[in-house]
């Protein structure tokens, strides 16, 4: 990496001692699944990662305080994807933008399954689009087939979490995964090459995900792909090592120039990361 800058585009800060979990839906991490700011910084330093895009986890609901605290402490290295209530005011959204938030996350599996189907969803997406924000969507399986068209028609910039978290046993032709590929071909969408351990039923290096990654790379093109770790790897039975996830990217993209685009050039262009004056 010639310039020394690399971005982890999917990680969570989880500190229940300082920021208690929200009531309501969402996975509540066990004590051994938390991840504080200082621990994450050490992981990044160990693996030569300079920046991060933090993502609001479902355990905090619409309370983004923990994520915003980490962003404020990062000296400009961290940006964020927030979760917000549909009725959030434009002023509150603008404040989040000024704090380094670059998009909102719709967690259709754990937090808000009706986020794209309730009355007013189109108006909400229009407000997000007007801010220049991304709409990052976490969904699995055929849920994608039911939301792809509304996302495409919104004209909003879309980010697909975890290359869509497909059901690998159903192959590439399953409707949900085909919807993800269609978004890559027809919409203003980017995709995260992240968390391969989640859909995989094989141990590392998760060879069963490789056809799906190849299909995503073909549909989105290299310039709309980013990489993320999903640190601190909550709610999974897989044994996960941060360095191993970077090794997967090398396996998928053996050309170092291609990896440079995914790890730095694309996140810098899409999310506004800057390298000058910010070093680990």
> Domain holding 14: CATH number?
3.20.20.140
pTM of the entire structure? 0.95
How far is 91 from 101, CA to CA, in rounded Å?
Answer: 14
**Phi/psi class of residue 195: alpha, beta or left (left: φ > 0; alpha: ψ in -120 to 50)?**
left
Q: What is the pLDDT of residue 276?
A: 52
Q: What is the pLDDT of residue 63?
A: 97
Q: What is the pLDDT of residue 279?
A: 37
- Please check whether residue 2 lies inside any domain of the structure: no
Q: What is the pLDDT of residue 1?
A: 47
- Please check whether residue 77 lies inside any domain of the structure: yes
Q: What is the pLDDT of residue 164?
A: 94
How far is 243 from 129, CA to CA, in rounded Å?
Answer: 35
Q: What is the pLDDT of residue 272?
A: 95
- Please check whether residue 279 lies inside any domain of the structure: no
210-220 vs 242-252: helix crossing angle, rounded to 10? 60
- Please check whether residue 1 lies inside any domain of the structure: no
- Please check whether residue 195 lies inside any domain of the structure: yes
Count Cβ atoms within 10 A of the Cβ of residue 142 and give its class: 0-12 exposed, 13-18 middle, 19 or more buried.
middle
Which residue ranges in the chain fall short of pLDDT 70? 1-3, 276-280
- Please check whether residue 235 lies inside any domain of the structure: yes
- Please check whether residue 246 lies inside any domain of the structure: yes
Q: What is the pLDDT of residue 280?
A: 32
- Structurally, the chain folds into a number of domains equal to 1
Q: Print the domain residue range for 49.
A: 7-271
Angle at 198 between CA 249 and CA 66, to 5 degrees: 90
- Torsion angle (degrees, nearest 10) of CA 158, 162, 168, 171: 30
């Amino acid at each position: 990496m010639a310039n020394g800058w690399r971005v982890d585009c999917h990680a969570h800060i989880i500190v229940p001692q300082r920021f208690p979990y929200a009531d309501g839906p969402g996975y509540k991490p066990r004590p051994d699944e938390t991840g504080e700011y200082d621990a994450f910084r050490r992981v990044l330093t160990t693996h030569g990662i300079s920046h991060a895009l933090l993502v609001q986890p479902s355990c905090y609901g619409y309370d983004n305080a923990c994520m915003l605290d980490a962003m404020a402490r990062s000296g400009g290295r961290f940006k964020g994807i927030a979760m917000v209530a549909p009725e959030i005011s434009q002023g509150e959204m603008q404040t989040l933008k000024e704090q380094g938030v670059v998009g909102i996350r719709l967690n259709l599996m754990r937090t808000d399954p009706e986020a794209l189907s309730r009355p007013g969803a189109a108006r909400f997406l229009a407000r997000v689009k007007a801010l220049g924000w991304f709409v990052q969507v976490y969904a699995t399986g055929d849920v994608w087939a039911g939301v792809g068209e509304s996302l495409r028609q919104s004209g909003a910039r879309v980010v697909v979490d975890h290359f869509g978290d497909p059901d690998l046993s159903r192959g590439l032709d399953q409707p949900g995964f085909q919807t993800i590929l269609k978004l890559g071909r027809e919409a203003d969408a980017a995709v995260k090459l992240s968390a391969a351990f989640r859909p995989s039923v094989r141990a590392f290096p998760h060879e069963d995900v490789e056809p799906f990654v190849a299909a995503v790379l073909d549909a989105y093109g290299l310039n709309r792909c980013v990489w993320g770790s999903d640190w601190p790897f909550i709610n999974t039975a897989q044994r996960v090592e941060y360095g191993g996830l970077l090794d997967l990217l090398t396996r998928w993209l053996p050309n170092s120039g291609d990896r440079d685009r995914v790890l730095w050039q694309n996140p810098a262009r899409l999310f506004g990361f800057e390298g000058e004056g910010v070093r680990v």
